């Protein structure tokens, strides 16, 4: 009689463990959702705490590792962000948002060649719905390498796909200003501002172009528009305040 009893006890134990495991996974999934809410709010510290708790139960979830990478990016811990984006891509090789984020982590660390290699891997993927992000980011990587012709090539490719993509307009204008062609930058910026008049970063680019052209009154007016549209205490707003005070 002992053997059937022991088998029954073992079965009940297994069922109990399985039930506990399912419950843990449900709690972890809810914790991930909470972490993503914090991410969307820009509360990276709270997001990181929630996501690290969830990782203890879901260590092989690629989406969770991507979220962790985003949280570390927000904390400016780019080497840790890189680690989690790599883990996400290893677990799910076709996870393109994580690959894009990995490239951005490389960019932040000035690992430009690695960033370019990362973006090239998926920029021509026909299933990737937003290749202008990859092309623009490749432009920034080449800008970091001071390769102005290739930087402008990829910014232009991004703009061919999405003409008012601010990240690419900002990059292209920056490249022209750095190359001594501020007049060309001015034309590109003003064309985009007609559609996106609240783009504070483009008003800052326009101010820099005017400064390069020694047009101080126009530069001052552009910096004033930066203050009008940029959120308070952001680096761009602080730069505008400094320029105007000087």
What are the C-alpha distances in Å from 238 to residues 75, 120, 128?
20, 35, 37
Evaluated on CA atoms 178, 184, 185, 188, the torsion sign reads negative
pTM (2 decimals)? 0.85
pLDDT value, residue 128: 77
Averages of pLDDT over runs of 10 residues in the chain (246 residues) are 53 56 84 94 95 94 97 97 98 93 97 94 75 94 97 97 96 98 97 96 98 97 97 94 94
Domains of the chain: 13-109 (1.25.40.10)
Quote the tokens at residue 93. Answer: 């090789």
According to the model, what pLDDT value does residue 58 have? 93
Q: How far apart are CA 173 and CA 191, in angstroms?
A: 12
């Amino acid at each position: 009689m002992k053997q059937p009893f022991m088998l029954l006890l073992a079965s009940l134990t297994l069922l109990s463990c399985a039930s506990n495991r399912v419950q843990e996974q449900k709690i972890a999934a809810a914790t991930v959702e909470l972490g993503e809410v914090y991410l969307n709010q820009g509360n990276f510290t709270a997001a990181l705490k929630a996501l690290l708790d969830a990782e203890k139960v879901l260590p092989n979830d690629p989406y969770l590792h991507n979220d962790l990478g985003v949280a570390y990016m927000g904390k400016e811990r780019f080497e840790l962000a890189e680690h989690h984006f790599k883990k996400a891509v290893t677990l799910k090789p076709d996870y393109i948002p994580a690959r894009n984020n990995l490239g951005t982590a490389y960019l932040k660390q000035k690992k430009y060649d690695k960033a370019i290699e990362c973006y090239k891997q998926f920029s021509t993927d026909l299933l990737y719905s937003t290749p202008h992000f990859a092309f623009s980011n490749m432009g920034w990587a080449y800008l970091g390498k001071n390769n102005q012709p290739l930087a402008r090539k990829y910014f232009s490719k991004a703009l061919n796909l999405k003409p008012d993509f601010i990240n690419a307009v900002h990059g292209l204008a920056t490249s022209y200003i750095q190359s001594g062609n501020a007049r060309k930058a001015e034309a590109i910026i003003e064309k985009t501002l007609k559609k996106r008049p609240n783009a504070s970063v483009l008003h800052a680019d326009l101010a820099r172009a005017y400064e390069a052209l020694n047009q101080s009154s126009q530069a001052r007016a552009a910096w004033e528009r930066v203050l009008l549209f940029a959120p308070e205490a952001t680096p761009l707003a602080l730069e505008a305040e400094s320029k105007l005070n000087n």
